[in-house]
Structure formats: C-alpha cells, structure tokens
Structure 1
Amino acid sequence: MLNAVMVVDDEASIRDAVEQWLGLSGFAVQCFARAQACLEQLPRNFPGVILSDVRMPGMSGLELLEQVRALDPDLPLILLTGHGDVPMAVEAMRDGAYDFLEKPFSPETLLASLRRALDKRALVLENRSLHTQADHRARLDARLLGVSQSMQTLRRQVLDLAALPVNVLIRGETGSGKELIARCLHDFGPRADKPFVALNCAAIPEHLFEAELFGHESGAFTGAQGKRIGKLEYADGGTLFLDEIESMPLAQQVKLLRVLQEHKLERLGANQSISVDLRIITATKPDLLDEARAGRFRQDLAYRLNIAELRLPPLRERREDIPLLYEHFLHAAAQRLGRNAAPSSGAQLSRLLSHDWPGNVRELANVAERQVLGLQAPAEDEPQPNQSLAARQEAFEAQCLRAALTRHHGDIKAVLAELQLPRRTFNEKMQRHGLTREMFLGP
C-alpha cells in the first residue's frame, strides 16, 4: 500500500501541523519549505502524492505542478490554496492538478483527498509495472532464444535477479553464453543506463592484473605513464562482469573481497580511497567451492560472489533449441556478410541435432557462418532434390544411427537405450546401412 507524501509549504506552522496529522495516520512524510528542494529529491516513479501550497517564494505551486507533470504526468499533486486562490486552483485542476484544498482545512478532508489520490497512484504504478514486465519478457525472449524448459526457466530467473541488488555467479561451459546472460542481468535491471564493463580474468597477465582492476596513478610502477582508471572504478554505478573468475590471482582476490566489503578501492600508487557502487557478476566453468577446497580460490570470496547462482545448460541438454538458434545465426551471418542464407534441409538439421556441441552455442554460430560462406562440407547422407521420401527417410535413419554410435563409442546397450530400439530391429538396421560396431569403438 502506498503511503508516501511530500509536503511543500513555506509556512513552518502549516508544515508541522500537516506532518503531525499525517504521521499519526501512518503516512511517510517529507516536508520542504521550497518547491525546488522537493523537485530535486523527487524520485522516479515516486510511490505517493505531492501536497503543495500555491503561493511560495521562488517556485510557486503552479510552477511546481508544471515541472512535475513534465517528469510524470500521472503523479497526483494536491494544491493548498487561500480563499482568493480558488479560481486559480480550479484552472490548475484543468491543467492536471489532482485536487485543491482551501485553507483552513480539516484533517479529515486532507486524509480523504490523499487516500483517493494514493489509490489512483497505486493503479498507475501497477499498470506501469505490468507493462514494463511484459516489455522486458518480450525483449528477453528475443535475446535469450530457446523453447526448451531449461531456457524458459533461465529467462524467468534472469528477469527476477536483474531487479535485485545482489551479486550473481554464472556457471556454464565454454561457449554457452555466459557474457550474454551477464549483459541481460545488467540491461534489464536498474543499472541499465550505467556502464557495463567486462573483463576476462584468464586473459590478463598476473603482473598487470592489479593495475587493470584497480587502476594506477602516474609513476606507480615502471611504465605507468599518466593516471589510469581501473575496471572497478570505471564500472561505478553499473556492473562489472568478471569472466573466468577462477583464474584471478589469489593476491587480487583478497583486494576484491575488500572492495565488496567496504565499497572502496585505492588505485596503485595512491593513498586516497575512492567510493564505488557497483554490481559484480562473475562467470566460471568449475565449481568455485571445489576450487576453494583445492586451495586455488578464497572461500570467503566465493561466498561473497555466489549470492545467487545461474546455471547455463549446455547445448546438448537442450537440443530442441538447436533449429531455432541455427536459423537465427544463419540469418544474422547472412545479413552481416551480405549473402543469402539457404533454408536448412532435414538432413542438415538431423546432423545438428545429433552433434554433441562441445563448443556449445559459440560452435553452432560458427557452423552457421561457415554455411553462409559455403565452407561446410556436404554430408554423405545429404538427400538429393530428386530423391524419394523413402530414400530421404533411409538417409535420416542412417545418420541417427551413426550419431548415436559415435556418441556412445560403439556401446550397443547405450545406443539401444537412447534410440529405444529392440536388439533385433537394431541389428537389421545396422546390416541394411552397412554399419558395424567396430567402426565406432573409441581409442
């Protein structure tokens, strides 16, 4: 329930009386002697009502109304008027004021008007929230593609966590899209208009890591020419994404932990602390607690970073998303390269669905780009345009068998379980397609 009220009046006695009445009735009250001060502290999507006198030094109540409506036309503003200001107040209501109260007014009259205005404000903010959520869901669906249950769950988790001021650890294999998830957490949260700074911890030489993360003053070390802002400071107000966090040197882990605890940092070569307000999103392939137990990562930092964890499923665990992703990458590559993208054939899709994708989404995007460039080698089971349906079915069946046998390194029992085939039917199909178990035995 909304209960916030900003009161603007240059008379201290009026402010004190209204604050007392409203406070006893359970309202959260802020009082201002000047309209400009109220305007400067007015938050975006203020969950309440403004109560303002009309005649004040500096900015008048009518001018405040104009400024407020420019910022938020749906924010209720109630005017407090003297007897001679009533015609002016009526005109102000035509210009968007919610109501006016003629002085002197009773507490009951004030409370009734405020409660009506707050009810209206609650409906406005609820509708805005619903529209924002629907817009975010639509935009996120277009960025995190997939129809699988795991991707639907992941999108819900991203939207939930994006709005929360907590550090997030993203777990996923190489190429699974960890930076994309981090970017979505930033873009759909309250820090979206602030910097998003990404740093791959594995790509920075250890002797340069501290300067890269914390920055340095001129002359802090040999070669430090001029002042340099580090990634932590540059991300102030926004989000710092640290990929492959398990590669961060232990010495820097201690200093990062201190920044998380104190929200302050010092550049190399400086004695003055700098306050920073940022969200840390990290990504890793191994389990950080396993790394901590092995002595390669600080356990206290692991707990600080892993307030919330998101797991990205590898592509092989969401094969139903492959056709959609592949078509997306095909069209994106064709547009970027200025070429036409031929539609995928059934045999192509069967090969894509049967592959294990150790490089995950990144590997799939690479295959799509090679396809657009004409660099993909044709498969032996690719059907010809003049082939019959029966021939196409045979080619697809052979490809499915080859893929399963390859995945399981010739383990017939595992293949039978995956393809849900009786042994006799499987033997017949192997013979018909000229396949033997020995062709797929691992080294």
Structure 2
Amino acid sequence: MKNPMSTRKPRILIADDQHDVVEALRLLLKGEGFIVEGFSSPGALIDSLRRAEADAILMDLNYTRDTTSGAEGLDAVARIRAFDAGTPIIVMTAWGSIGLAVEAMRRGAQDFVEKPWDNERMLSVLRTQIALGQAIHRARALETENRQLTAIEGDFIGESPAMRPAIEMIERIAPSEANVLITGESGCGKGLVARLIHERSARRERSFVVVNIGSLAETVFESEMFGHVKGAFTDARNDRIGRFELADGGTLFLDEIASIPVTQQARLLRVLEDGQFERLGSSRTQRTDVRMLAATNADIDAEIAAGRFRSDLLYRLNTIHLHLPPLRERGDDIVRLAQYFLQRHARRNRRTLETFSDPALAALRRYPWPGNVRELSHVIERAVLLARGPVIDPVDLRLDSSPTAESRPATLDEIEREAIRRAVDRHAGNVVAAAEELGISRSALYRRMEKTVQ
C-alpha cells in the first residue's frame, strides 16, 4: 500500500510583503508539483495554518513594520511553534546574517534561505524539510500507537526464575544511555524488550526507529541508514533522509545486527564513536544523537572468528549484553503468555473463549516451542479461530509433542480457510450465520471463500 503522503501534492504556505516575491515562488513551486498559498503578512499565514495543516512554511523575516531586524518574522516563528510543533518552517530574508539565522533556528525554524535565492537550493531545502517533517510525523504517530499498545498489553510477561535476571537488568539499564546488545533465539521477544527499554528511558518521547538489517540489500544499506542527496546514484531523484537522521534524539533499534555487510561496518562504527556521518553523495558531515539497541540470534563470537563481524563494532554495541532465555526454559511463563494471547486473539477475532482445558495446559507445558513466544502466539491464534467450544482443548492446539525438522506451522491463509470451512459446516451451509460468527459481513465472507478456491 502506498503512503498517502507520497501521492498527494504538498501544500506550501508562503508569507512575504512583496507581491512579486510571492508570485515568483508560486510559479517555481507550482511547476514542481506543489500547491502554493501566498500571504502578505505572517498573521494571515498563521490564520490559514490554524484552519488546515500544511507540509511546509516559507516565510520572509522582514516586513514593512521593520525592514532590517527580522523581529516580525522571528515573532511569527515563535507564534507558530506555540500551537504547531511539527510543520517545517524555512525562513528567508534579504538582510540575512548568521546571527539572525541562529535566532530563527532557536525559535523553531528548520532552515534558512538568503535572498536572492538559487532555485535549485530552494527546491532542495524545501523537499528535504518536507520529507523530514513527514518522516517525523509518521514516526511520532507510530510511537503514539505503540505507546497505547504497550499500555493495553502491559509490561513484559516474565515471572519465571529463568526470566528474572533479564527483567532486573531491563529495569536497571533502561534509564541509562548505554548501548545494549540483546541476544536470544528467534521469536523470544528481543524486539519487545528493545521497545520496553526505550519506553522506560529519558528518550521515550522521541522516535523509536526499527531497522531489520536482514531485510536490507547491501546495495541500499548506505542509503537507508545514512540517507542520500539528489543525484547520488541513477535513481536518486530527490534527497532522502536516513534512519540515523530520523532517530536523532531517540532510539535506533537494529534487528539482526549480524547481517550487516562487512563493507558497511566501519561506517556504522564511526557513527557509534563520534555521532558523525555523511549522506551518500554528500561531503557535508552531519551529527546525530541516538541510543543504539541491537539484537541478534546469531553466535557473534563465531561471526567474528569467521571474519564476518568486526570485534571493535561489537565492543561499541554491547556496552550492556542482555540475553533472553528460550521459552522452553521459562516454566509457567508459558501458561501466563498463553492466557494473555488467548484474551488478545479472542477479543480481536470476536470469539467468546474462556480458558484452556487441563489437558491443553499440559500440552502447552510439554511442547518444546522451537519458535518461542512468536510460535506460541501463532498457535493460540489458530486455536482461537478453530475452537468449537468455549474451552480450548488439545485438538485445537494441534501440537506435535515431538516436532520434526519437516513440520511447520500453518500459514495464516490456511488458518483462515479452515476457520471458514468449520464455521460454514457448523451452520449447515448458512453463510449469513457463519459470517456473523466470524465477525465479518456476508460479502466479505463470500470474497474470502472465493479466494480459498482460486
């Protein structure tokens, strides 16, 4: 699915007391695909911004009241920031100076352009600030959603003796600024632990940016992490903000850190050492302030011995090493997690299910859980969809107490197909009743039934 931000035209608000300047900018930006609204005073611009959001603001600092000091424009920047903390502001003046630029930035502007402007620079600054503003907006929206999700789901479930050292470590290290390397088998909750550390740190109001290193091709790694400038390579049609820039002031979580290309490890090491980097294709050094969390299920020592991972990079990443035990070693945490997943999946799928039968609980305890917590969640969701009564029995769990290498969990499509078949069978082919039980409309059920036979 495309981001709606990428398909609509950006809305730009311009304020300048010179009509010719506004019209010149309108023509320039309209030709580049922007929607432009011009105003002769900051007050009119602010009134418009209060009525509807904008993607960026381009405003003069000097107006007829005072043509040299920039006071009226600087005051407008502060007024905007009093009710709008996110819309990028780019200020411009024919009487530009470093001091005036610094003051504008201090009051909340993102960048500064001097008149007469260079069209290429104006467009570059504007596109960069719009992209950064949209990225920050998306990150903050995700943070709000994740924080709400955390509040609903509660704290990390872990009361077993095997989990107690990890829980105590999280409580101690979360408020610090230390980099943390989280290790453990796949599916044991490393991502959730990283999020908990961020939520309990002083950076919790800033971005939590997640990068799955294993999903990044080596050819795009540098661009994704550090960003690039227009023209850096064939398809670089615009400036792009990297993950380090997006996470500035917050936390950057690198999952599957052992997958980082050897050729890029030196650049990552440099950022960890001095917080400096350059976008791909640019010689301009930028600074970033991020707390680094990393995770892996690989044997890092073996990767170092094989020459695939730098030992000095490991030393920077694992100021604190936090190891999570596999689910099979966590005793009654298996039951606690199963009850939690039962409530969660039953609520989401509109099923009325109360608990597990004693034989089902015994099966949960007996199973070795090679996929850890992720597999447990998947098994409980499948049981919620397939259960015939209010209590989950062993047959609903479909666990093989001795899983083989060839066995695999059912896919979501397979689960959905089986749930539909059972619901239709229970209601003797009555599609309306089956749809009501599944919590979907009749037309939606027909579409899903058509998909299963394709």
Residue 36 of structure 2 is matched in structure 1 by none
Shift in CA distance, 380/246, structure 1 to aligned 2, threshold 3 Å: closer
> Alignment length, in residue pairs?
252
Residue 184 of structure 2 is matched in structure 1 by 172
Residue 346 of structure 1 is matched in structure 2 by 358
TM-score normalised to structure 2 length: 0.52
For residue 309 of structure 2, the aligned residue among 279, 282, 297 is 297
Give the letter aligned to residue 187 of structure 2: G
1:191 touches 1:237 (CA, 8 Å); kept in 2?
yes
CA-to-partner distance for each residue in 1:237-293, whole Å, 9 max, x for gaps? 011000000000011111000111111110001111111000110001123222111
Which segments of 5 or more consecutive residues in structure 1 lack a partner in the other structure? Answer: 1-137, 383-398, 410-443
How far the C-alpha of 1:224 sits from its partner, in A, is: 1.0
Shift in CA distance, 242/380, structure 1 to aligned 2, threshold 3 Å: closer
Residue 218 of structure 1 is matched in structure 2 by 230
CA RMSD across the alignment = 2.7
Residue 272 of structure 2 is matched in structure 1 by 260
Shift in CA distance, 209/349, structure 1 to aligned 2, threshold 3 Å: same
Q: Say which SS state the counterpart of residue 189 (structure 1) adopts.
A: coil
Q: Say which SS state the counterpart of residue 216 (structure 1) adopts.
A: coil
How far the C-alpha of 1:147 sits from its partner, in A, is: 1.8
How far the C-alpha of 1:407 sits from its partner, in A, is: 8.2
How far the C-alpha of 1:375 sits from its partner, in A, is: 6.4
Distance in 2, Cα, partners of 1:243 & 1:290: 18
How far the C-alpha of 1:141 sits from its partner, in A, is: 9.8
How far the C-alpha of 1:298 sits from its partner, in A, is: 0.7
- Please say if 1:157 is aligned against 2:169: yes
1:196 touches 1:240 (CA, 8 Å); kept in 2?
yes
For residue 348 of structure 2, the aligned residue among 329, 336, 361 is 336
Distance in 2, Cα, partners of 1:331 & 1:381: 16
Q: Structure 2 matches for 1:6-405, cutoff 5 A? A: 142-374=154-386, 379=394, 403=401
Which segments of 5 or more consecutive residues in structure 2 lack a partner in the other structure? Answer: 1-149, 406-454
1:140 touches 1:184 (CA, 8 Å); kept in 2?
no
Q: Say which SS state the counterpart of residue 253 (structure 2) adopts.
A: strand
Distance in 2, Cα, partners of 1:272 & 1:223: 21
Give the letter aligned to residue 323 of structure 2: R
Distance in 2, Cα, partners of 1:225 & 1:375: 53
Give the letter aligned to residue 340 of structure 1: T
Shift in CA distance, 172/140, structure 1 to aligned 2, threshold 3 Å: farther
Give the letter aligned to residue 156 of structure 1: E
Q: Say which SS state the counterpart of residue 321 (structure 2) adopts.
A: strand
Shift in CA distance, 349/274, structure 1 to aligned 2, threshold 3 Å: same
CA-to-partner distance for each residue in 1:214-237, whole Å, 9 max, x for gaps? 111111111112111111111000
Distance in 1, Cα, partners of 2:183 & 2:395: 37
Give the letter aligned to residue 223 of structure 2: A
TM-score normalised to structure 1 length: 0.54
2:387 touches 2:396 (CA, 8 Å); kept in 1?
no
2:170 touches 2:197 (CA, 8 Å); kept in 1?
yes
Distance in 1, Cα, partners of 2:195 & 2:343: 22
2:228 touches 2:279 (CA, 8 Å); kept in 1?
yes
Q: Say which SS state the counterpart of residue 163 (structure 1) adopts.
A: coil
Q: Say which SS state the counterpart of residue 149 (structure 1) adopts.
A: coil
